[in-house]
Structure 1
Amino acid sequence: MRKILTWLFSSAVVAIIWLAVQSDLIGDRFDIAETGKAHSHPSGTAYRVAAVERRQIVESVQVTGSVVPVALVSVSSQVSGQIKEIYADFNREVSRGDAIALIDPLSFEIAVEQAEAQVGIARAGVQKAEVALRDAETDLRRKHALAANGTGSKLEESKATAQRDLAAAELDNATHALLGAEATLKQARADLDRTVIRSPVDGTVIQRGIEVGQTVAVSLQAPVLFTIAQNLREMQVNASIPEAEIGRIRVRQRMEFAVDSYPGQIFSGEVTQIRKQPQMTQNVVTYTVVASAPNMELRLLPGMTATARIIIDDIGGKLSVPTTALRFRPPGEPRSLEARVFVERDGLPVAVPVRPGATDGAFTAITSDGLKEGDRVITGLAVASGQAPVSERRRLPEML
């Protein structure tokens, strides 16, 4: 009796397994598309399909860069001395010509006074030379008249002529000495004026590198006293583009970027410059692309890291297919050099040549005489969740 019960139980289990396998085989002949409709396949192979549709394809290049001011001016000193006063601090907005620091002017004031004294001496020398020249010319005229009347000698006339020429030379020398003294005075006054450090541009002080009492020594490499960002309302993004992508970048292309400080906030600008100087980093060649970044609300700060994309093409209303459809090949189908997709027609995959266009990674714009909107392209083989592929499940009856 126990053997009979065991045999009946085993037979029931085998029957249940056989019915389950048969139901799977029947289910494999239907593929549920994205619209939710079932599609019968005479070949018995189930495919994943997607409809050809018109979409907006945004093709872009992903880059990273830094937010920097359009112009960053380093202010140095042209004279050496001790910092006496500081008029501008961090974040101070300044205008062109505003005083931002003062170097102790005492020694330069003394130099101006000394130069003024030298100018006075030189002017007196010119006056003395002018008097001597007039006297020499008067003596020459008198001796010339005497020589003409026969009461004077030619020798005296010649000596008078030489004295007149010598006085003229002395006047010329005194005049040039005066010019040299005036130039020295001008230089001294310029150095005195340079003790007042002035802003060369309109902008904002973003760096101050001096303190009151610090000595500034001018050398071949002048120290930077202030760094001024010119117009923080007009920033730019400097991005590094790999050489493989630089050929796709053009001036006036749109750039969209984000910074970590404002999650979810998208800033925009456009490419303004493509610099031809290559940058080599670990044997990787990149080129710097500059894009504008309007900053009217002053939210962007110098040095922020920008995660950006440069819009290469923004195509709207073009026929497009999933990019996976361009990579799909039915089992056993040989590779082809031409781009093509497989369309589901009467349950069979049919190859249709296409010309791919712009892509955003997920979808690709295409041009093809054999496709129209609404056609169903195959993107892959359908595999039910938690089950083996169709080809493997069909081996189960043979194994049983």
Structure 2
Amino acid sequence: MTKPQKTARNIVIALIAILVAGWMAQAWLFPPETKIGYVTAKPRIGHLADTVLASGTITASKLVSVGAQVSGQITALHVDLGDRIKEGDMIAEIDPSTQQNDLLDAEAALANITAQLAAKQAELRQAQLDYTRQKKMRALDASPQEDFDAAEATLAVTKAEITALKAQIDQAKIALDTAQIDLGYTEIRAPMDGTVVALAVKEGQTVNAAQSTPTIIKLAQLDTMTVEAEISEADVIRVHEGQPVSFTILGDRTTKYESTLRAIEPAPDGIEDDDDNTDDDAVYYNGLFDIDNPDHRLRVWMTAEVIITLNDVDNALIVPSAALIGPDTNGNYSVRVLDEKGDAIEKPVTVGLNTNIDAQIINGISETDDVVIGATSGATASSQSVRRGPGGMF
């Protein structure tokens, strides 16, 4: 290769190197503008509800502990677990021997005092005659004053003794009534219609009612159940009687039971045990509502997953709450939507119900708008539609 050819080649190589270096410098110092991509969502028409979630326990609408009011051995038990019984049905019998003897003692004591009263009334008649006779004789000065005074005192004492005996008779009648009642307590009967949900004793067992009433059975009315929903102190101020509630149970999450909140207990659980709540445990208040249970599918102590509806709207135009811009100082909101060129423009809107997850738009946009809920510069789209402006990948 001649020297002029080498020189020309070197010049070409140098020019190429300069062009490459210039292009790289331009790319480094002046990168091309990247078009922002937007994550959007279409507004939808649907039902929107603001709710409070709570965990609840299902209990019987009435749950009664039927106990023994007298001590003794259970000689007969007439019910079994799960039995449905009627008010007045015999539940159990306690050996009545002690109570029968007490009744006989009370009857004898009343008869004894009654006989004493009859004898004392006879003495009263004699004392009255003696007093009358002594009074006449004393008027004629035919007997000493001492005899009249003694007759008068005897009459007064006899009347007082009769008054005391009458009071003792009243006490004896009360004792007799108590003995008859105690004898009746040896037959334990159902105080209401219900289902036997617990048996606390067995036939042949001895119960002692001296200090507290021992439980024989627990009787529950299961046709109507009560749900005790634990509402946190953060939510309870927004909850009130009459709000609609629904719940599901752990064994069947597809069946929804619906009712109305009946009451909210004014104090949290445990107040009867700890009046000065100084620990750091969360505070919950029980919200109460009832539910029909004709087939007894709901059982005592089941767990209920409760939803309390604070407010709801049907046929609402709904957008994600994340799309809202605001409120401003005047309490106004706006959202960004894409125009025909794919650019985001801001539109003022009127917001109705806002659950902080979804929000109702009363006016300002329509179902056809693409509402911006976020921006992205990457190429990976989310599960919602991604639109990019001109020059983008899509």
TM bucket (normalised to shorter chain) is 0.7 to 0.9
Letter in 1 for 2:244: R
Is 1:258 matched up with 2:258? no
Q: Are the counterparts in 1 of residues 245 and 307 from structure 2 also a CA contact under 8 Å?
A: yes
- Find the residue that maps to 1:123 and give its secondary structure: helix
Letter in 1 for 2:361: I
- Find the residue that maps to 2:88 and give its secondary structure: coil
Q: Give 1:232's aligned residue.
A: 222
Is 1:214 matched up with 2:205? yes
- Find the residue that maps to 1:164 and give its secondary structure: helix
Which structure has the higher relative contact order (CA within 8 Å, separation 6+)? Answer: 2
Letter in 1 for 2:295: E
Q: Are the counterparts in 2 of residues 45 and 390 from structure 1 also a CA contact under 8 Å?
A: no
Alignment of structure 1 residues 1-400 onto 2, 5 Å: 44-229=35-220, 231-279=221-269, 283-326=281-324, 339-346=333-340, 347-354=342-349, 356-359=351-354, 363-368=358-363, 370-381=364-375, 384-385=379-380
- Find the residue that maps to 2:266 and give its secondary structure: strand
Q: Are the counterparts in 2 of residues 235 and 293 from structure 1 also a CA contact under 8 Å?
A: yes
C-alpha distance in 2, partners of 1:151/1:309?
Answer: 103
Letter in 2 for 1:233: D
- Find the residue that maps to 1:191 and give its secondary structure: helix
Change in CA separation of 1:395 and 1:349 when aligned onto 2, cut-off 3 Å = closer
Letter in 2 for 1:248: R
> Given the two structures, how large is their TM-score scaled by the length of structure 2?
0.78
Change in CA separation of 1:99 and 1:282 when aligned onto 2, cut-off 3 Å = farther
Question: 1:386: how far off?
Answer: 7.9
Question: 1:339: how far off?
Answer: 4.2
- Residue deviations 1:238-290 (CA, integer Å, cap 9, x gap): 11111111122121211111112334211111111111212478521211111
- Residue deviations 1:304-342 (CA, integer Å, cap 9, x gap): 1111211122201333212332379xxxxxxx9964321
- Residue deviations 1:65-110 (CA, integer Å, cap 9, x gap): 1111112111221111111111122112223332211110011101
- Find the residue that maps to 2:159 and give its secondary structure: helix
C-alpha distance in 2, partners of 1:307/1:386?
Answer: 35
C-alpha distance in 2, partners of 1:319/1:386?
Answer: 25
Q: What runs of 5+ residues in structure 1 fail to find an aligned partner? A: 1-42, 329-335
Q: Are the counterparts in 2 of residues 343 and 349 from structure 1 also a CA contact under 8 Å?
A: yes
Letter in 1 for 2:105: Q
Change in CA separation of 1:50 and 1:262 when aligned onto 2, cut-off 3 Å = closer
Instruction: Indicate the RMSD between aligned Cα atoms, in angstroms.
Output: 3.0
Indicate the percent of aligned positions where both proteins have the same amino acid: 28
- Find the residue that maps to 1:109 and give its secondary structure: helix
- Find the residue that maps to 2:344 and give its secondary structure: strand
Question: 1:227: how far off?
Answer: 0.8
> Given the two structures, how large is their TM-score scaled by the length of structure 1?
0.77
Question: 1:182: how far off?
Answer: 1.7
- Does 278-287 or 117-126 show the bigger shift? 278-287
- Find the residue that maps to 1:147 and give its secondary structure: helix
Question: 1:201: how far off?
Answer: 2.4
Change in CA separation of 1:170 and 1:77 when aligned onto 2, cut-off 3 Å = same
